[in-house]
Amino acid sequence: MESGQEFYDLYCATCHLDGSASFPTLALRGSDVLAGPPEKTIQVILYGQSGKSKIDGVVTGGIMPAQAGLTNDEIAAIVSFVRSEYAGKKDLVTPSQVEALRVK
């Protein structure tokens, strides 16, 4: 988890801050995506997302740019960290899970 927080601080915190950003589309705490299967979070990081999301039951809109330039290890660590920190999920995501979702 330590490397996940380091990567989060480096690549994600500029927009998402501590996960409870005041602008709802940037908030991670209460995110339905983080609470769901890890594959959804991986896909959002790899390919980005636009349109509607739910944060604490409130539908919001916004854009998350693709971050496909991050390595499988970085994405796996970030997803493990944010799911643990902001959604209470303790499962660890592996680089092979990220690799399986990359378009070849």
- Domain map of the chain by residue range? 2-101
Q: Is the pLDDT of residue 13 over 60?
A: yes
Which pLDDT belongs to residue 21? Answer: 55
Residue 61 pLDDT greater than 80, yes or no: no
pLDDT of 31 reads: 84
The pLDDT tens digits of the residues spanning 27-57 come to 788 888 899 999 999 999 999 988 777 666 7
CATH fold for domain 2-101 = Cytochrome Bc1 Complex; Chain D, domain 2 (1.10.760)
- Whole-number Å distance between alpha carbons of 36 and 15: 22
Separation of alpha carbons 34 and 71, rounded Å: 20
pTM of the model: 0.86
Picking from 15, 64, 72, 20, the residue whose alpha carbon sits closest to that of residue 44 is: 64
